[in-house]
Structure 1
Amino acid sequence: MTRPDLLCIGSVLWDVIGRSTAHMTQGSDRPGRITRLPGGVALNIAMAAKAYGMTPALLSVVGRDPAGEELVAALDHMGLVTRTLYRSDDLPTDVYMAVEGGNGLIAAIADAHSLEAVGDKILRPLQDELQGWEGPVALDGNLTADLLAQIAQDPRFAATDLRVAPASPGKAERLLPFLTHSSATLYVNLEEAGLLLHRAQTDAAEAAQALRARGLHRALVTDGPRLAACAHADGVEAHHPPDVMVTRVTGAGDTFMAAHIAAEREGAGPEAALRRAVDAAATYVSGDTY
């Protein structure tokens, strides 16, 4: 039986993405392409981590509807560990829908109602084959505020290498309980950092240091094509992304997080790991492979 080396807890669903190369605003109607791909924050992190040589296990919910059966089959084919998924007989498989233009994300809707409905049932593998887990955990903010607060206080995660992403600015404040967690690392963009700090931040380095000052163990803050930073107990690292043509946006932050986890697993220090993550995200948004 395949033994995972990373747990990815959160949304596992279908991404339906409409992309156009044209500049778009509210009400725009432009030609483009519409794709359906496996997605969700937890799954995006898992797929990227798999590409970097890791073996992620998924803790989430997927329905037993046709969409769910197709999704699990696709994940099995990728080599991800899916036996840890909670399979629901009566809840549909979740879905995310977004529209992207040449000027970035225009709008998105995340239908994660099934994930919210099952609550802590997705954590059941931690009582069975994953009991005593000591490896890294990637946690996404699509979980309910109550479940995230429960995890932040759960003794099973007290000393865990916990990596947390907010999923979207609208869900950033759900991560407030992790600001005082003894070993949590938050991966946020500049807007999300401002929401957690209740004031706008000038740049990623300032935001990362401010999060540390609030008690956070470690903070990684990105700002699109501008400076990215990592604040930790020994200081602050910062790195500017390379200039690239942006062809896609959805999943860039998840790729950043997975690349950073994989780099540290290989022994990279803070500066090298940040550079690896920034470069991986730039490669992703340019449309190239990992």
Structure 2
Amino acid sequence: MKNQIYRVYEAIKLDPLASQQALADRLGMSRESVAGHIMQLTRQGYILGKGYLLAEQNTYVVIGGANVDINGHSSAVLTTHDSNPGTISQSPGGVGRNIAENLARLGEHVHLIASIGLDQRGNWLIEQTRASGVETHNILRHDTLPTGTYLAINNDSGQLQAAIADMRIIDTLDAQKLSSKQALLQSAYSIIIDANLSSDTIEWLARQSLSAQLVADAVSTAKAPRLRPILAKLTLLKVNQDEARAILDSNETDPNKLAKALLDAGVDEVLLSLGSQGVLFTSAEHSQQKICYPTVPVSDTGAGDALLAGYLSACQQNKSLDDSLSFALACAAMTLESAHANYPELTVQNVTQWIEKL
């Protein structure tokens, strides 16, 4: 920023509610000059909106699914086509929302952009998300469609057996609605999207001139191909092997070859989940595989979301690649041992202590 614009920016930081005339008097400028500098700061993403909400460094903006998870956990060997004894719980969910919550619990500054119904379930979901530390004032409310719901059935080992996802509402998160969030997108350090978004919305985001890193989670084999047109825009792609094959339209079984093919398609870095075998990180400069920590899984819902959030948080902590992967796997392991999609005690200190105890 040039000197006068910088002075205006610093004055707003000291008094965000000051009028343009008050700022002008304080700085010895005309009100018209101050107004022009504020307009320029807004266009550049340093000011996010009314009241001079200022952009912050290292801000994550997560755009994607937010829904209520209803989890059924069988207490004995699951019998199909029959009623099974067990427990049922409700918790906040959605890939994008889960990633946002995990990042916030790990101390990162996170805004969530999602579409949520104007209903009681939606109110509860926003309250729960806000309580975890996520900025929720950019969430969009829909007055006709219900809040998204994810119904999961897990066996007695905590493994997902079947699920139904009512995610119709996410298709309303389109380019027109996201255009109203341009100032926030312009100010972001990193924008994280999940493949629950429609293909049109994903491609619209990729066409925007944004300075932020673009990170994507492939979500599922059915939705992962939506990311094909934007692979060359991605700083980081988190996938499992089935999702990678779906994106590449390939039958390849070698994880290293899958990751290499994604790099060849334009992705800068690939975080490839290998399930019980751990994770493989690949970039043009580095390739490293790391095995999982031993766990007693309760539910595998949300473990992949914790893996991605943990890796991003570790990078912010300036950890080495090896330590970053260890931290990410620990976040996933702690989530696996939780009954919910997000481990409620996920903090940098707790994850670090968890690793040290092994």
TM-score of the aligned structures, taking structure 1 as reference length: 0.91
Amino acid at match of 1:267: N
1:53 to 83, 107, 120: 107
Residue 223 of structure 1 corresponds to which residue in structure 2?
A: 274
Give the alignment of 1:60-209 within 5 angstroms.
60-101=114-155, 102=157, 104-128=159-183, 130=184, 132-156=186-210, 159-181=211-233, 183-209=234-260
Task: Note the aligned Cα RMSD (angstroms).
Answer: 2.1
Cα separation, 2, equivalents of 1:190 and 1:144: 22
Residue aligning to 1:247 = 298
Q: What is the deviation of 1:112?
A: 1.2
Q: Which has the higher strand share?
A: 1
Letter in 2 for 1:106: Q
Q: Tell me whether 1:286 sits opposite 2:341 in the alignment.
A: no
Deviation at 1:203, TM superposition (A): 4.2
Q: CA deviation at 1:65?
A: 1.4
Larger Rg: 2
Structure 2 CA distance for partners of 1:11 and 1:121, relative to 1, 3 Å: farther
**Residues 127-167 of structure 1, C-alpha deviation per residue, up to 9 Å, x if partnerless?**
24x152241111111111121122222223xx421110122
Deviations 1:155-190 (A, max 9, x none): 23xx42111012222111111122221x43110011
Q: Give the Å deviation of 1:2.
A: 9.1
Query: How has the CA–CA distance of structure 1 residues 259 and 76 changed in structure 2, closer, same or farther, with 3 Å as cutoff?
Result: same
Q: Structure 1: give runs of 5+ residues left out of the alignment.
A: none
Inter-partner Cα distance in structure 1 for 2:254 and 2:75: 28
Contact 2:158 2:298 survives alignment (8 Å): no
Identify the range of structure 1 (223-232 vs 268-277) with the bigger mean alpha-carbon deviation.
Answer: 268-277
CA separation of 1:93 and 1:48: change in aligned 2, threshold 3 A: same
Q: Partner letter of residue 271 of structure 1?
A: D
| Structure 1 residue 32 displacement after superposition | 1.3
- Report if the CA contact (8 A) 2:55-2:187 is conserved: no
Alpha-carbon distance in structure 2 between the residues aligned to 1:213 and 1:278: 26
Residue 25 of structure 1: CA displacement?
A: 5.9
Shift of 1:121: 4.4
The runs of 5 or more residues in structure 2 that have no matched partner are: 1-52, 347-358
Secondary structure of the residue aligned to 2:335 is helix
Whichever residue aligns with residue 189 of structure 1, its letter is N
Contact 1:142-1:171 within 8 A present in 2 as well: yes
Q: Cα offset for 1:218? A: 1.2
Distance, in Å, in 2 between the alignment partners of 1:131 and 1:258 is 19
Residues in 1 aligned to 2:286 and 2:90: alpha-carbon distance in whole angstroms: 41
Q: 1:6 aligns with which of 36, 60, 80?
A: 60
How far the C-alpha of 1:61 sits from its partner, in A, is: 1.0
Query: Are 1:16 and 2:60 matched, yes or no?
Result: no
**Matches of 1:72 and 1:245 in 2, distance apart?**
30
**1:26-85 superposed Cα distances (whole Å, 9 cap, x missing partner):** 435321111111110111001111111112111011122121122222222333211111
- Matched residue type, 1:67: R
The 2-side partners of 1:144 and 1:274 are apart by: 30
Distance (whole Å) between structure 1 residues aligned to residue 185 and residue 298 of structure 2: 41
- 1:16/1:54 Cα in 2 relative to 1: closer, same or farther (>3 Å)? same
For the Cα contact (< 8 Å) 1:221–1:228, is it kept in 2? Answer: yes
**What CA deviation, in whole Å up to 9, does each residue of 1:1-43 have, x standing for no partner?**
6967211100111111111243436435321111111110111
TM-score normalised to structure 2 length = 0.74
Contact 2:64 2:196 in 1 (8 A): yes
The alignment of Structure 1 onto Structure 2 pairs a total of residues equal to 286
1:206/1:68 CA distance change after superposition, 3 Å: same
CA distance 1:247–1:204, shift in 2 (3 Å): farther
Cα distance in structure 2, aligned partners of 1:125 and 1:23 = 49
